[in-house]
Amino acid sequence: MVKGTVPKSAEVDAWFEALDHPLKEAMMRVRRIILGADRRITETIKWKGPTFVFQGNIASIDPRTKKNVNLLFHQGASLRGKHPHLEGGGATVRYMRFGDLEDVKAKKSDLEAGIRAACALNAEGG
């Protein structure tokens, strides 16, 4: 586990500046938590939203829904450990959803654990 905040990407900063979304503050908090979970993580814009990367894609914020913040874990089905807030039944992807800023705060520990597990998986070549 390598804690510490990574400098934010100007590209992702610009994306957030232009974003008109009812849960923008919650999305920005998710971003800060992810970047603070492991200093090796970088961020970029892929698939029309922020994607967090360490030796491959870790997670992406999907801004299309307005009801909640959808965070897609690219290899969520393969993450080690228990992650009670990950949802989905497909072979690969899992989602963590947040209803509002308070929900992000409540799920912070699980979000950090999921991000660290994704970094570990990618470091192993998973």
**pLDDT (tens digit per residue) in 64-109:** 999 999 999 999 999 999 999 999 988 999 999 999 999 999 999 9
Q: The domain that contains 116 carries what CATH number?
A: 3.90.1150.200
Residues in the chain: 126
Q: Which residue has the higher pLDDT, 2 or 73?
A: 73
Total structural domains within the chain: 1
5 part of a folded domain:
no
- Please report whether residue 68 resides in a domain: yes
Q: For the packed helices 10-18 and 24-37, what is the interaxial angle rounded to 10 degrees? A: 160
Instruction: Indicate yes or no: pTM above 0.85.
Output: yes
Residue at 23 is within a domain: yes
**In the predicted model, is pLDDT for residue 23 greater than 80?**
yes
DSSP string of 84-116, one letter each residue:
TTEE--SSS-EEEEESSHHHHHHTHHHHHHHHH
Asked whether residue 67 is domain-assigned, the answer is yes
Angstrom distance (rounded) from CA 109 to CA 36: 12
